[in-house]
Every structure is written in structure tokens, then in C-alpha cells.
Amino acid sequence: MISQTSGIGWSLDESRMYYVDSLTRGIGVVDYDGASGGSGNRRLFAAVGGDGVVPDGLAVDADGCVWVALRGGGALVQYRPDGRLEQTLEIPAAHVTSCAFGGTDLATLYITTAAGPGTCGGALFSCRPGATGLPASPGSASHH
């Protein structure tokens, strides 16, 4: 059972749906059928957080990597499609809440933060991490 989802995204072929479960501190994945909208075979994609760090918003890039905001962790983490940690981007705010790719080339990663301890809380950051994003919803992807 999913207890509190705060981020969702799809694999490149739209056969898997990723979701953040903030209460269990994990990124889950389920098999997804775009035609019916059905899902099943729920499993853990990556364990994230602990000690006051909670996974929050999520985005998937054009390489199929999953980016997750770490509320209380001052960072974004990027996971490869197989669930292995690729990199961590430090953000100068404790409560990183979400991320999304944007711009005309979808190569700018926008990062939101919440007010709280640390510098720059409640701010919007952007960077060009060397990855590009995808359209936000399944079925509209131009990569088919």
C-alpha cells in the first residue's frame, strides 16, 4: 500500500511508473499499462532518506534516470534506470521539495525548496546538469 505519494514519473517506454512514498522513505515502481491505466507488481526501486531526510518530488530524464528531491537532505539524487545511485547534487537549502526539467530544450533542471533551516529556503534554483527532461505526462512523449 502506498502511504503518501509526492512524486510520480514514467519510464521511457511508459511500462513502469515510479512514485515517491514519503512515509516509507522509498521510491517505488509498478508495472504500468498505458492502454488501460492499470498497474501492478509494486516493488521498491530505491530506499531514500532516514534521520530526518524524506524523499519528495520526482522527475525522469531522457536517459530514463530518476531524480528525487530530498526534503531535509539539502540535495537532489539521480538514480539510473536499474536503481543504482548516479549522483547527488547539493542544494543550499535544507528542504528540497521538487524538481522538473524545463526550457525550450528541456535541459534546465528547476528545483524548488521550502522555507526552513539553512540558507535560501523557499527559493527556486536552476541548473543544467547535463541531462534533458521529457514531457510531463505519458502518451505525450515525443520519443516514440
Tally of CB atoms within 10 A around 68: 29
Is the Cα dihedral 106, 132, 32, 139 positive or negative?
A: positive
Q: Which residues carry out catalysis?
A: 56
Residue 136 belongs to a domain: no
Query: Is 55 in a helix, a strand, or coil?
Result: strand
Residue 75 belongs to a domain: yes
Position of cell 524548488?
112
Residue 92 belongs to a domain: yes
Residue 73 belongs to a domain: yes
Residue 83 belongs to a domain: yes
Residue 133 belongs to a domain: no
CA separation for the pair 131, 138 (Å, rounded): 19
Residue 142 belongs to a domain: no
Residue 31 belongs to a domain: yes
Contact 52, 64 (CB under 8 A): no
Domain around 84: 5-127
CA separation for the pair 12, 1 (Å, rounded): 25
- Domain containing 62 — which CATH number? 2.120.10.30
What total of structural domains would you count in the chain? Answer: 1
CA separation for the pair 80, 113 (Å, rounded): 23
Confidence of residue 85 (pLDDT cuts 50, 70, 90): very high
Give per-residue pLDDT as tens, 99-131: 999 999 999 999 999 987 666 778 999 999 999
Give per-residue pLDDT as tens, 12-71: 998 999 999 888 889 999 999 988 988 899 999 999 978 889 999 999 999 999 999 999
